[in-house]
């Protein structure tokens, strides 16, 4: 049992640390500028081109759709890391309370 508790603590600590690192990175002005002025406008432009049907070939359409999905992942993934870190903090707190209650 002790090893299971330690494994959980270690996993939560890694998730919390990953969330902190991502949070620091995504709060940098350079990252925010890049997302707001490059990534999001590019996603909007490509999505508009796809929706209007102004793409010449199926191959180009598939490429643009893949690029949109990739760029959207660049925006969504850091948010997921931060969410996971928040959940790990809560689980770690509950685990500590459960351990203290057992003692």
Percent helix, percent strand, percent coil in the chain, to nearest 5? 90, 0, 10
Banded pLDDT at 73 (limits 50, 70, 90):
very high
pLDDT of residue 57: 92
Could you count the other beta carbons within 10 Å of the beta carbon of residue 15? Answer: 19
With beta carbons less than 8 A apart as the criterion, state whether 71 and 43 touch: yes
- pTM listed for this prediction: 0.74
Given a cut of 90, whether residue 30 has pLDDT beyond it is yes
């Amino acid at each position: 049992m002790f090893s299971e508790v330690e494994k959980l603590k270690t996993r939560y600590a890694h998730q919390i640390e990953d969330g902190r690192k991502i949070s620091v990175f995504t709060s940098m002005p350079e990252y925010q500028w890049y997302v707001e002025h490059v990534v999001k406008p590019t996603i909007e432009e490509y999505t508009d081109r796809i929706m209007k049907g102004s793409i010449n070939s199926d191959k180009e359409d598939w490429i643009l759709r893949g690029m949109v999905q990739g760029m959207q992942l660049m925006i969504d993934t850091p948010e997921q890391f931060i969410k996971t870190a928040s959940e790990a903090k809560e689980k770690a707190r509950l685990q500590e309370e459960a351990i203290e209650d057992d003692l």
